[in-house]
Amino acid sequence: MTRPRVRIAVICALAALAVAIPFMFGPYRVGQFTLVLVYAVVALGLNLLVGYNGQISLGHGAFFALGAYSAALLIEKADVPHLLAVPAAGAVCFAAGYLFGIPALRLRGLYLALVTLGLAIAFPQLIKRFDGLTEGTQGLTVIQPVAPSWLGLADDQFLYLLVLAFAALMFLGAWNLVRGQLGRAVTAVRDAEIPAATLGVDLGATKTRVFAVSAAYAGVAGALYVFAIGFVAPEAFTLTLSFGFLAAIVVGGLATISGAIFGALFIEFVPVYASDVNDALTGVIYGGVLIAFMWFLPEGAAGLFQRVRGLMDRHRDRRAWASEEKDLTPEGGAA
């Protein structure tokens, strides 16, 4: 089989698996997988910013929270239908990201990281402060989407599939972006700013746009989070969450689309398993696993797969060359 065909087959298999999940597990597990999808969407957006564009953000928890609260307020206080709340949350975060990005992105690396860190810290405090609107620390309960009776699905299953649908859309969007003009401009900026600028890529605008897009992704994910959990409170949006998102993309693999899933699985399940093993040692195990992961797999899980694929390609090429002396082009192309 040629490489593109293998890839499509794998994606179809994974998609089938993804759809099957709500029918394979009980409600608690399904809820966890729903959260995995939510985190994967954030990771996707963050990866666009960090992996592809070479910027850094320690504060995407804030945009996640902004999206969640926007959706929550729209649904609970403005009677906006659930489905509309998702793109609305995304739009709000796009705007916020853009506005934040304009000044912030003039800073480089470390200082940008600090400013985004500040954002992550500040936002929960702001939520608490304006408790007239947000109900502050009490939190806001939100009606979750209910499965229509004609589908014959349980609520948790329906929620999962709904989130899956949105997540799939976001993945498609990301894939498209990366391949399209914005994606190329974005990668060019990461790899070499000065040449990119001379080729006409508007650095400032590209960076801000990417930041806004990644914020929008976090916003959409926030809205989906509200669907999944049905409750928002400032305590849910800790610094640890922002750090977790960053860890997710590095663990999953920078500048890869598939990495978002690995990363999301990691940050959802590893802490749970760690506390299963020994509740008191949760932090030790989680932290230890994180470090070990970086030690052995610095390119992330996706990097491992690429390496394996590379090995398989080379093996197959060697066999092709050996057995087919007349045909000079190896099947499927070189790695």
Site map (CB under 8 A) of other proteins, residues 233-272, x = contact: -------x--x--xx--xx--x------------------
30, 35, 48, 50: residue in contact with other proteins (rule CB under 8 A): 50
Which residue bears the tokens 């939520």?
127
Smallest gap from residue 138 Cβ to other proteins (A): 14
Count of residues of this chain found to bind other proteins when the rule CB under 8 A is applied = 44
> Are 51 and 186 a contacting pair, CB within 8 Å?
no
Q: Which of 38, 209, 243, 36 is nearest to 120 (CA)?
A: 243
Q: Is residue 302 within the footprint of other proteins (CB under 8 A)?
A: no
Q: Is residue 198 within the footprint of other proteins (CB under 8 A)?
A: no
8, 14, 122, 143: residue in contact with other proteins (rule CB under 8 A): 122
> Are 220 and 67 a contacting pair, CB within 8 Å?
yes
- List residues bridging with 246 in a β-sheet: none
Smallest gap from residue 273 Cβ to other proteins (A): 14
Q: Is residue 129 within the footprint of other proteins (CB under 8 A)?
A: yes
Backbone angles phi, psi at 232, to 5 degrees: -125, 140
The contacts found for 12-17 with CB under 8 angstroms, 24 or more apart, are 15/168
Backbone angles phi, psi at 141, to 5 degrees: -90, 135
Smallest gap from residue 110 Cβ to other proteins (A): 6
91, 285, 320, 335: residue in contact with other proteins (rule CB under 8 A): 285
- Is the Cβ of residue 84 or residue 281 nearer to other proteins in the bound state? 281
Q: Tell me the two tokens of residue 146.
A: 């209910």
Q: Is residue 117 within the footprint of other proteins (CB under 8 A)?
A: yes
91, 95, 121, 153: residue in contact with other proteins (rule CB under 8 A): 121
Which amino acid is it at 278? N
- Is the Cβ of residue 222 or residue 263 nearer to other proteins in the bound state? 263
Q: Is residue 56 within the footprint of other proteins (CB under 8 A)?
A: yes
> By CB under 8 A, which span of 68-76, 283-291, 305-313, 317-325 interacts with other proteins?
283-291
91, 95, 126, 201: residue in contact with other proteins (rule CB under 8 A): 126
Q: How far is residue 74's CA from residue 115's CA, in Å, rounded to a whole number? A: 28
77, 106, 314, 319: residue in contact with other proteins (rule CB under 8 A): 106
CA separation (Å) from 118 to 111, 137, 158, 335? 10, 20, 37, 43
Q: How far is residue 277's CA from residue 279's CA, in Å, rounded to a whole number? A: 7
Q: Which of 89, 57, 1, 31 is nearest to 210 (CA)?
A: 57
- List residues bridging with 231 in a β-sheet: 141
Q: Which residues are at the interface with other proteins (CB under 8 A)? A: 50, 56, 103, 105-115, 117-118, 121-122, 125-126, 128-129, 240, 243, 246-247, 250-251, 254, 280-291, 294-295, 298
